[in-house]
Amino acid sequence: MSRLIFSKVRIAKKNIRRFFKGAGITILVLIIVFFLLNWVFPLPDKIEYSTIITDNKGELINAFLTKDQKWRMKTELNEISPLLRKTIVAKEDKYFYSHPGVNLFAVSRAFIKNLVRMKRTSGASTITMQVARALEPRKRNIGSKIIEMFRAFQLELKYSKDEILQLYLNLVPYGGNIEGVKSAAQIYFQKNPDHLSLAEITALSIIPNRPSSLVIGRNNALIIEERNRWLRKFASNKLFTEKEIADALAEPLIATRGVVPHYIPHLAYKLKQSGNIIIKTNIELNTQLKTEKIVEDYVRSLRLKNIKNAAVIIVDNRTHKVISYAGSSGFTDTTDGGQVNGANAIRQPGSTLKPLLYGMCFDEGLLTPKMVITDVAINYEGYAPENYDEKYNGYVSVEYALEHSLNIPAVKSLKLLGHEKFIRKLADCNFKQIQKDRNKLGLSLILGGCGTTLEELTGLFTSFANEGIYISPSYTQTDTVHKKTTVISPAACFMINEILSKVNRPDFPINWQATEHMPKIAWKTGTSYGRKDAWSIGYNKNYTVGVWTGNFSGIGVAELSGANIATPLLFKIFNTIDYNNDKEWFSQPADCDLRKVCSETGLPPSDHCSSLVMDYFIPLISPTKTCNNVQEIMISADEKISYCKSCAPQTGYKKKWYKLIEPDMQAYFDDNKIAYDKIPPHNPDCELIFKGNAPAISSPVNGTEYLINKKDPEPIQLSCKTANDVSKVYWYINDKFYKASDARSKQFFVPQEGPVKISCTDDKGRNRNITIRVRYVNL
């Protein structure tokens, strides 16, 4: 008997071992098959989400439909509140955190129920299986359910439970083209999902089961009834406290389908190109809305002048964040292309780059604010710039030239500095079009002969509020890596700030009456060629504001100017965002000092200087050469002849101090009939041949090709600039004498075709040659 029992036990053990061995092999085979199928049929988890734009507080301010025209906003893990997680899991899949993606017990129970009742009464789909179905929609049948189970295992293998719940909340349908709890929360309740109440979460949770019959805003009474049924079920399961349930039951449902906000449309479209799903901007929505309203109202007042658009950017100087961005006066306005982004459009900058130029000249030791420069006609190889008012001012200080935005002193300063160095500095400050065109640009770029954007100019001007250090403005909260470069020194920056903050200047807007309420700011205006663009960029310690006004159509308007059109808008914005704030201003840095200079030259005074003024300078850098604008000249007793040391007589002469006046200033004085003390002509009997100070031929321009009409040939002008002691010059054409004339008179001649050599010799024997090319054409 015992042997029989022992034999049966041994057989049973063998069967058990055989079973477990077979089961193990089966499981191993299933695992191998699963991973093989997982490799052959990868999980289709590439989800296209709506691009959403948020403000500095994380609130939604713009969003874009997906390619399939869905509102599918991504809910981040930190937006899934404990209340949201608890409610959804309790309703949809209470064993979510314990099963491997498929609840086998629920599947078996559903299979038996459906088999007994011969129809589908229970689905037994877990949250993971619902995600699988949303990723790969199919007809509901047994085959589809098996595929869902396979995909569920794939999801559990690849993602954590919280990530699967996140996928569910991002894909669950809420009727129409709304998918995901964040889309529903924003469109129905205008809030983020982590701010939803228990009643709102429960109301949303019942919609996916009947999205066509439970539509918020249309079937609210039915939704409340179904919501309360689930809330009572939660109460019976002790899921929430009695007070929480009571508050949720009492909460009304007055929501309707709202509209997704579309603020900052220009910046939103620009940032969308980055490809990021969630773009967190630094926009302060309240400031943005105020700015848009000011711009819209202001442009409306300009329409009678045929000025139809404006763009504004505001940067917080302390954080370097862009807090407001208006690309036009109205995105939906079709009269002048309101959808064009004027803040990012390439335009001519006018005179807005002059502060940087003078600041760089201060740092190079070329200029100081009180240094005097001539504002007279110039010609650089055919380039002859003019001032805005087409007038000349003679001797002007650098600060006067910047205050009055004079063009000729700016071109002279750029020539002195070198335009290549200036272009390199702009390239360092992210001026992309200037960097692209660097080989095409010349001296005209300082007057607006280049392309730039309001974004670039506003970014540059923030450096003047930051001791000369450029830090690239950040448009999003992820812009943590800033481009940082020194533009000018703190001393040069302070000098520029002092000049640009003066109120008594010609570009102060006419009829502006609100200055008593305006915070102290420094600003620079600019008007492009043809009056197509008007600029005004202003700043103080707190903000930098960039303003552009004009027409996107490119039409010029006679009344369009930076001073009278763009600057009033700049002042209005500062009045709004920084009202009456004069608590802080820029202090004089340690590397900037004051000294006395001659008021006539701006140089440290010599013994003969009688009129002195105070001037800022940079020690060890600013010019230290003393003023030398006067010279003692030996002249005859009747003051009609001057002498040099080589020809001065033993007796019968006297000495007299004369101001040294450059030839171009002599021409300016003569043209404007301004009297000045001329040095008498040099002794005609002097045998010394002068090698320096030869006449400078100003017309025609050396190396230039001139086209002359065959039918009606026009003569070419001959003019030159000479030293102060020259009274007569002699002109030669192709080495043949042409005409003698007074030093500052203009002559004309009709040249022959081909190369033409032109020579000018003064009455001291000094000579200058140039060559031009002449071609006769039918015009």
Concatenating the DSSP letter of every residue in 562-589 gives IIIIIHHHHHHHHHHHSTT--S--PPPP
CB atoms within 10 A of CB 703: 11
Q: What gap in Å lies between CA 2 and CA 244, rounded to an integer? A: 68
User: What does the pLDDT read at residue 713?
Assistant: 86
Q: What gap in Å lies between CA 173 and CA 164, rounded to an integer? A: 16
Q: How many CA atoms lie within 13 A of 775 on its CB side?
A: 8
In the predicted structure, residue 360 carries a pLDDT above the cut 90: yes
Q: What gap in Å lies between CA 445 and CA 423, rounded to an integer? A: 9
In the predicted structure, residue 629 carries a pLDDT above the cut 90: no
Q: Which position has the higher pLDDT, 179 or 510? A: 179
Selection from 515, 684, 658, 492 nearest residue 589 by Cα:
492
User: What does the pLDDT read at residue 12?
Assistant: 63
- CA-to-CA separations, 472 to 317, 341, 342, 452, 747, in angstroms, rounded: 11, 20, 19, 15, 55
In the predicted structure, residue 571 carries a pLDDT above the cut 70: yes
In the predicted structure, residue 185 carries a pLDDT above the cut 90: yes
Q: What gap in Å lies between CA 404 and CA 408, rounded to an integer? A: 11
Report the pLDDT averaged over residues 434-443. Answer: 94
User: What does the pLDDT read at residue 87?
Assistant: 95
Partners of residue 678 on adjacent β-strands: none
The position carrying tokens 């670039």 is 456
Region of poorest pLDDT, from 143-157, 345-359, 532-546: 143-157
CB atoms within 10 A of CB 115: 9
Residue 539 CB contacts under 8 Å (≥ 6 apart), including other chains: 317, 461, 462, 464, 465, 521, 522, 523, 545
Selection from 743, 665, 771, 694 nearest residue 412 by Cα:
665
In the predicted structure, residue 233 carries a pLDDT above the cut 60: yes
User: What does the pLDDT read at residue 485?
Assistant: 95
Selection from 174, 163, 200 nearest residue 73 by Cα:
174
pLDDT digits over 465-493, tens only?
999 999 999 999 998 778 899 999 999 99
Q: Is-contact 188 255, C-beta < 8 A? A: yes
CA 674 to chain centre: 47
Q: Which position has the higher pLDDT, 7 or 172? A: 172
Give the whole-number percent of the chain exceeding pLDDT 90: 62
Report the pLDDT averaged over residues 402-425. Answer: 96
Write out the E strands in 33-88.
Answer: 52-54, 60-63, 71-72
CB atoms within 10 A of CB 121: 10
User: What does the pLDDT read at residue 693?
Assistant: 74
Q: What gap in Å lies between CA 43 and CA 61, rounded to an integer? A: 33
* DSSP 8-state class, residue 69: S
Q: What gap in Å lies between CA 705 and CA 577, rounded to an integer? A: 55
User: What does the pLDDT read at residue 203?
Assistant: 94
Q: What gap in Å lies between CA 702 and CA 381, rounded to an integer? A: 7
Q: pLDDT band for position 194 (50/70/90)?
A: very high
Q: Is-contact 537 545, C-beta < 8 A? A: yes
In the predicted structure, residue 397 carries a pLDDT above the cut 60: yes
User: What does the pLDDT read at residue 665?
Assistant: 86
Q: What strands lie across the sheet with 642-643, from one edge to the other?
A: 642-643, 630-636, 653-659
Q: Which position has the higher pLDDT, 487 or 25? A: 487
The position carrying tokens 């807007």 is 509
In the predicted structure, residue 123 carries a pLDDT above the cut 80: no
Calculate Rg over the CA atoms of the chain.
41
User: What does the pLDDT read at residue 580?
Assistant: 72
Q: Is-contact 307 569, C-beta < 8 A? A: no
Q: Give the phi and the psi of residue 416 in degrees, each rounded to 5.
A: -65, -45
Report the pLDDT averaged over residues 160-170. Answer: 95
User: What burial letters (b/e) apply to 575-605, b meaning 16+ CB within 10 Å?
Assistant: bebbeebeeeebeebeebeebebbbbbbbbb
Q: Is-contact 399 616, C-beta < 8 A? A: no
Q: What gap in Å lies between CA 458 and CA 465, rounded to an integer? A: 11
User: What does the pLDDT read at residue 121?
Assistant: 45
Q: What gap in Å lies between CA 717 and CA 745, rounded to an integer? A: 10
Q: What gap in Å lies between CA 744 and CA 243, rounded to an integer? A: 100
Partners of residue 179 on adjacent β-strands: 72, 173
- CA-to-CA separations, 478 to 262, 636, 718, 741, in angstroms, rounded: 21, 79, 63, 71
In 3-state terms, the chain is what percent helix, strand and coil (to 5)?
35, 20, 45
User: What does the pLDDT read at residue 110?
Assistant: 61
Q: pLDDT band for position 517 (50/70/90)?
A: low
pTM assigned to the model: 0.84
Report the pLDDT averaged over residues 669-681. Answer: 86
Selection from 403, 354, 410 nearest residue 503 by Cα:
403
CB atoms within 10 A of CB 219: 16
H-only helix segments in 593-714: 663-671
Report the pLDDT averaged over residues 377-404. Answer: 90
Region of poorest pLDDT, from 35-44, 288-297, 447-456, 742-751: 35-44
CB atoms within 10 A of CB 377: 16
Region of poorest pLDDT, from 165-179, 573-587, 748-762: 573-587
Q: What gap in Å lies between CA 777 and CA 671, rounded to an integer? A: 34
